[in-house]
Every structure is written in structure tokens, then in C-alpha cells.
Structure 1
Amino acid sequence: MTRTSQVARVHDQGRPPPGLVTPGKARVDPVTIMTFFLIVLFVMPARYVVGPLGGAGSPSSMVAVLLLVWYLLSTLSPRWTPIQGRQPVRAVIVFFALAVLASYVAAATRPLSADEVNAADLGLVLVGGWAGIALVTADGVNSMDRLETLRQRIVLGASFPALVAMVQFFTGIEVTRYLALPGLVEKGSAVLFEREGFFRPAGTATHPIELGVVLAAVLPLALHGAIYCRVPKQRRKRWIMVALIAGALPMSVSRSAILGLFVVMVVLLPTWPPEWRLRAILIFGVASIVMRLVIPGLIGTVLNLVSVIGSDENSTTRTGDYDAVVQAVTQRPLFGQGFATYLPRVYRVIDNQYLMSALETGLVGVLALLVFLLSGWVLARSARRAAADEETRHLAQCLAASMAVALFGFGTFDAFSFPMITNVMFLILGCCGALWRLQTQPGRVPYDSLD
């Protein structure tokens, strides 16, 4: 697959006229700030946190909260406000936050243990960070060039945990213990998981499942960059990143990862030209053969995991949660028992975010979760229809594929309990909102900067 040279790129849509930028005034670029966030998110192991803050104390979550503060302070000035025109992501975030707040109030109406109170409070901090990521991205990216830069940096960032995962898989060495900053506390085990005789790497994520879904969600963005690479010298590097992400994905030995890969193929392949589809199928076949030769048994193990879904012990254990969930939800159907208060050590492990949301935030929270996931898909598809060039249409479809990975993947594990995948998906939602705004409101003059 090579880039289509005949396609003209439309990058100037949404670019502010030169006269609007005050000469000599330092410009604060949201994409640059988001780059720092990506470094913290992907390079620093997620299981290391600031001790007293627990799950909300991961460095990436703390930076995300600062993003929200920055966004809100910027709205106080008409000159620097990022709010310009319609942006559906704002409504999505407000609805999601209100659903969580309603569950927080509902939690106060029942007896709570000290652990549950702390978890509920820290849950609000997490939601604030997720909101900051989505809002800064959706309103802060002011041109197609900057959106492309952010896409490149997301892919580059995700390549790091993929590379770490490969080292873990082949050596069994938990290299992330050497990446933690002094003063952080380890939350979780540094021992690698194993399945069917293979190490299950987590990279810098907290769990192999989380790593696999993150890589599946970023893979479409990596493919877009490699296919439409306009600089020949960079083309090899971009395909190497695709190979890293796609190669590390099955090494997680996770059904969720394989499901995500299947979703990506279902969403992207029908929109590709016939010659692209043929090449993709050939490359996939050759890669499978090479992996079978280099890592005997891995492909068979992964395929077996998928083939026994619904009949193996792992699946039956998960479906066995349904009765307990239904009974608990019927007691608090609308707003649940409180976001982040369903503690596994107190109740039970629920490997399904939809069920977890029903328990913690009720039916209103499940609706908010579906709105969050589906809105990204709808915005990306709307941007695809509005786009004037094929490259932008392809980017929109790739963002839709990323949201589809989450839509299905969230049904296989409690995603909101894992910082990396949640932060990545709110970031991709923000990218969907930014692309929608740039394609549907190209004539609107964006703000000068966030300052």
C-alpha cells in the first residue's frame, strides 16, 4: 500500500489568518502540551502512582486534570477562549460528567465505607482529567496540520509500549521497573502474566488486556500515517511503527486485542480500494506465517482463545456475573451505587465496562457511556462525508475504527479501571471532534491560542 499521489491534501482549512496572531506574543500550542501528556501517558509505567492518590495519582491522570484547569481558565477570556462555534464533544462531556455526579450524589444516600468514599472522590478527579483531554483536543486543534501532528505523536507514543512489550515477551524481563520516577509507589505486581507457556507483556500499561486494546485502537491511525506518508524518507519509519504495534498486539495473548484487530479490519477494509485490500490480505497472511515460524504456537494459542469464547471457564465466569449484576442494578437502577465504588476486593471482579457502569452509575451512566463511544463514531463518519479530499476521508474512517474498537472492547474488560486505555479513548474522541469541526466549519476563524 502506498500513498495516492493524486489526492490533494486540504490542510489550510481552519488555519487562522496571519493578521490574527499578535506579533511578538508567545503562542501556547495545545498540540505541544498534548505531546507532553502523551510522553507521560505512554513512556511512564501506568502502575506507578503518587501513593496517597491511588489510581487517580498516576502521572498521566494528574497531567490530564491540569489540562482541564487550563481549558477552564482559558474560557474566562474572550480573547483566548477555545470555545468557538459548535462542538458536540462539549455536550457529550457535560452529559457524561453529570451522570457521574448524579451517581456521586446517589452514593451519599447509602452507607459507605471509608474505602468507598475515597474511591468516589478520586473517581471525580479521574473524570475531570478525561474531560480535560477530550475538550483541549476537540477545541484546541486549530488546523489539519496540527491534527496530523497530533496523530503522528499518538502513534509514536504507542510504539514505545509496543516495543517494551516485545522485550518483555521474548526475555521475560519486566523492564518497566527501571522506568519509574523516584517517589512514585508501585500499584500492582511487577511480575509478568503467563498464558499457555507465553509471557503476556503489558508494556507500560497496567495489564496485557489494556495494552492489546490500546494497540488495536491506535493501529488504524498508524496505518493512515504509513499509507499517506508524503515524505519518502519517513515512509520506512512509519511502516516500522505499524509493524511494532501490529506485532505486539497478538503478543498480549488477549482475546480483547484480537477482537479489536478484527473490528479494525471490518471497518477499514470495505472502504479501501480493491488493490489496497488485496495487499492487506497478502501482508496479513505473510505476517501470520512469519510469526508462526518465529514464535511457534502463538498464532494457534490466540486462535484457540477466540474459538472457545462462550464455552471456556473464563467466559462462563464472566457470564456468571450477570445474575449478580441484575440483582444489584434493580436496587439502584437509575444512578447506581456511585462511580468507582464497586471495589473488586469488596464485591467481585466485573470484566465488562457496560456492566460495571450499570452497577456504579446506573442506566443513566450506561447511556452516558454509549453516548461517549458512539459520538466519536458519528462525528468521524460525519467528518468523512464532509471532507473534500480522500486523505481526510481516510483519516476520518480510521478514527471511526478506533472508536469501534472501544465500543466492542469495553464489553470484554472494565476499561475505566485502567488509565491508559481510558485516556487514549477520550483523546481519540477529542480528535474526532476536532476533525468534525475543521471539516464542517472550515470558514470559522479559530481562537488565537490557549493561554
Structure 2
Amino acid sequence: MTSTPSVERVHPPVRRPERRGRRVKKRVDPVTIMTFFLVVLFVMPARYIVGPLGGAGSPSSMVAVLLLVWYLMSTLSPRWTPIRGRQPVRVVIVVFALAVLASYVAANTRPLSGDELNAADLGLVLVAGWAGIALVTADGITSMDRLETLRQRIVMGASFPALVAMIQFFTGIEVTQYLALPGLVEKGSAVLFEREGFFRPSGTATHPIELGVVLAAVLPLALHGAIFCRIPEQRRKRWAMVVLIAAALPMSVSRSAILGLFVVMVVLLPTWPSEWRLRAILIFGASSIVMRLMIPGLIGTVLNLISVIGADENSTTRTGDYDAVIAAVSQRPLFGQGFATYLPSMYRVIDNQYLMSSLETGLFGLGALLLFLASGWVLARRARRASTDPETRHLAQCFAASAAVAIFGFGTFDAFSFPMITNVMFLILGCCGALWRLQTQPSHSVVR
């Protein structure tokens, strides 16, 4: 009996998949996240909040706090950390936060009413959000292209309240009541202010003064984008945004806004070529004539507000605050009575952020405020000196102009009581820090 040989089963060689490089996860783009924040800040009316959270329930404030959480979580990983090289903005934010914390401790050494205690707690939340805005912007922007993208989106965002303000000015209709998301609670009045027979629009801000100063701070950034636009199809759109912002600015009927406009001109015009200066002066004069013809009385009213500074009741009331402020500061000179605790309902209205900071955070807090405001100007100017590119140098000067608007404007109203202008100025500080880093430390600006 012959045995049948066993047939060896031959298996085809197994093809192993080729090894490919590990898929690298992309970094989360801070500019994209900041774009979402800008939409919330400029499009959603600032007076609508999440009711149970009180003042801390402003949507823009909530997003800003999440920015800080994201920033701090990112620093825990060497791979994802946004910290690259030196960044003076971090020092500024730490000093500012320490001043607020010191005032919070000082506030708890004295008897506090329930309203004051709630306001002090709210102040800590607000400062956390402001820190998040500045730090994510200063450390997160990785290239000049991304900074330019953020600049464009800031201008586009500010164009929305400018457009809303023009509708309010001409119609007297408070259109922002139709922009609130369901579930939000209105904090404040929906009635438009009036002055000298004109409606004073607020856009999506909380007050006409706040709107006017925001538009003055953003105007130089809009001018930069229009002047250096290289794409013909976009040039008209960018100049349209310049016209929209510049036209809505005097409609706030606010002397702070007009003086902010003059600050922008004083900072920018000396750095422009003589040809640009001549055009700017001609356009400014022609625009004033057109606005005088289209809206009789508006230009005269605005100029009259400026001409009577120091002699009108509003000015004398503000200067009359000095004695009361000096007396209060002398009682708690170093750390003040507590950030955000000087409530108008309990004390008095102080239309000057420098005086308000002296009261609430003392001389230490006033120094931190001055450091915050001056650092934007200094960083932008240093970035301008470090660059040889004309476009970058102009962008730096425009950011310096925005910072100068805040330095001046904070002396005309209690800016920290208004969410939009405060968020915008911490955003400007972050942009100045990013521009400084990109120009002075290019080796630290490459994504790892």
C-alpha cells in the first residue's frame, strides 16, 4: 500500500502594509479661536448675559476665561505649549493680576456689603478673561501672516457694531434687541441715548462712549489694511470698512471718540510720506463737508463738545471728583479698597479709569494699569524699529496708535466698567506683544 505524500500547502507571502510616517496632529490655530471670540465680542450685544451668572455671564467674558484655561492647559505639554522665547506681555499680565489679587485681599480686611463682595468676585473672573485674551494672542500667533489675518478679522468684527450704530442713528430703532440668543437676560436699558437732538448709538456695545473709543482704536488697523491691500478686488471692501468705521465714530456724539480720532492722526500722520499726509488732510476736510451737508448740525455739535471742555457741567463734575478721590485713596493708598468694588450705586460715578484704579487697587494697581497701557505702545514702537519692511513698520505704528487711543481714552471714562473696550485693548496688547516677538525673535516664532 503506497502512502500518498502529503501535499505541502503553500501560502502566498503576506503583504505587510508599508510603514508610513506617523500622522502628526496639527496644532490648534489660536487665530481661529480668537476669530470665534471676536464674533461673540462684536456681534452679540454686550448687555445680554447668562442670568444666573450675573455680570460674569457675558458671553464674551465666558469665552475669554476659556481662553485662559486653554492657554494654561497648553503650557503643561512641551509639544503644545505656546511659550516660545521672551514675551514681556506675560510680565505685564502677571503684574496686573497681582495688583488685582492684592486689592482683593485688602478688600476682605474691611467690612464688605453683599454687592461689593459679589463685585469683587466678578472682578477676578473678568481679569482672568482679560489675561486669557492677551496671552493667547501674544504667544499663540506664529507668523506675520497669521497676525495679518487676525488684524483683518478685528477690523471686520468692529465694522459690525459700526453698521448697527448707523442704523440706530438714522432710525432710532434699537436693533440689538433682535440679536440676542434665546436664554440670555438683558442687563441695562434698550433705550437709545440722545444728545442735542441726535440719537447716540451704542451699536452692540453698552454705551456710545465705549463704541466711539473702540472705533477710534480699530480705525488705524482698518487704514493699514486698505493702504497695503494688493488685491484689487478686496481694496474696495477694505476702504468701505474704513469709511464705515470713520463715519460711525462721530455718530456716537462723544468727545472721547473725536479726541481719540485726533490721537490717531497725531500718531500716524508724522510717519506718513508727505503725499499721503496731503491726501489724508484733503479727504478729512472733504468728508467733514459731506457729513455736514448730509447730517446738518452733527459736526457742529461734536466740535462744540470739544471746545467747551473744562467749562461745561460735565467737565466740572469730573474735576470735582478729585478731592473725593484723594480723600478715599489716602485711607487705603497701597492696594485700594478692592477691584470692582467702587459701585456707583453706593459711592459716586467716576468717569476716569486712572482715578478709579487708584481707588480700587491703590497706587500699586495704578502703576499696573500704566504698565499695561504703556507696554502696548512700547512694544509696537520697538517692533517698528526692529523691522526694515515698510508694511511691517506701518503696521507697528498703527498698533501704537491704537494703544495711544487707550492711553488717552482711559482718562475720559471708567473703561474697565465696559466689556467691549477692555477686551479690545487687551487684544491690542497681545497683538503688540506678538508683533514684537515676530520682529525681534524670529527663531522662536517657528512652530515646533
> Does the TM-score normalized on the shorter chain lie above 0.5?
yes
* 1:404-434 CA-partner distances (Å, limit 9, x unpaired): 0000000000000000000000000000000
What amino acid sits opposite 2:375 in the alignment?
A: S
- 2:291 alignment counterpart: 291
**Which of structure 1's runs of 4+ aligned residues deviate more than 4 A?**
21-24
* 1:56-76 CA-partner distances (Å, limit 9, x unpaired): 211000000000000000000
- 2:10 alignment counterpart: none
**Alpha-carbon separation, structure 1, partners of 2:211 and 2:131:** 22
- 1:240 alignment counterpart: 240
Normalising by structure 1, we get a TM-score of 0.94
- 1:268 alignment counterpart: 268
**Alpha-carbon separation, structure 1, partners of 2:336 and 2:398:** 34
Instruction: Quote how far apart the aligned CAs of 1:52 are.
Output: 2.7
Provide the secondary structure at the position in 2 that maps to 1:425: helix
* 1:7-60 CA-partner distances (Å, limit 9, x unpaired): xxxxxxxxxxxxxx9745233100000000000000000000112322221100
- 2:154 alignment counterpart: 154
Matches within 5 A, 1:39-78: 39-78=39-78
What amino acid sits opposite 1:223 in the alignment?
A: L
**Alpha-carbon separation, structure 2, partners of 1:116 and 1:27:** 42
Cα contact 1:79–1:447 (8 A) shared by 2 = no
- 1:209 alignment counterpart: 209
Unaligned runs of 5+ in 1: 1-20
Instruction: Quote how far apart the aligned CAs of 1:143 are.
Output: 0.1
- Identity, in percent, stands at 87
**Alpha-carbon separation, structure 2, partners of 1:26 and 1:395:** 29
Cα contact 2:335–2:365 (8 A) shared by 1 = yes
Instruction: Quote how far apart the aligned CAs of 1:121 are.
Output: 0.4
Matches within 5 A, 1:46-445: 46-445=46-445
Instruction: Quote how far apart the aligned CAs of 1:445 are.
Output: 4.8
Provide the secondary structure at the position in 2 that maps to 1:194: strand
Cα contact 2:27–2:80 (8 A) shared by 1 = no
What amino acid sits opposite 2:197 in the alignment?
A: G
What amino acid sits opposite 2:352 in the alignment?
A: N
Normalising by structure 2, we get a TM-score of 0.95
What amino acid sits opposite 2:30 in the alignment?
A: P
Aligned residue pair count: 428
Provide the secondary structure at the position in 1 that maps to 2:443: coil
Provide the secondary structure at the position in 2 that maps to 1:443: helix
**Alpha-carbon separation, structure 2, partners of 1:127 and 1:189:** 25
What amino acid sits opposite 1:261 in the alignment?
A: L
Larger Rg: 2
Instruction: Quote how far apart the aligned CAs of 1:287 are.
Output: 0.4
RMSD: 1.0
User: 1:428 and 1:116, CA in 2 relative to 1: closer, same or farther beyond 3 A?
Assistant: same
Provide the secondary structure at the position in 1 that maps to 2:194: strand
Say which structure, 1 or 2, has more relative contact order (CA 8 Å, 6+ apart). Answer: 1
Cα contact 2:352–2:412 (8 A) shared by 1 = yes
Cα contact 2:45–2:179 (8 A) shared by 1 = yes
- 2:33 alignment counterpart: 33
What amino acid sits opposite 2:189 in the alignment?
A: S
Cα contact 1:138–1:432 (8 A) shared by 2 = yes
What amino acid sits opposite 1:366 in the alignment?
A: L
Cα contact 1:333–1:362 (8 A) shared by 2 = yes
Instruction: Quote how far apart the aligned CAs of 1:446 are.
Output: 3.5
User: 1:47 and 1:393, CA in 2 relative to 1: closer, same or farther beyond 3 A?
Assistant: same
What amino acid sits opposite 2:174 in the alignment?
A: E
**Alpha-carbon separation, structure 1, partners of 2:400 and 2:186:** 35
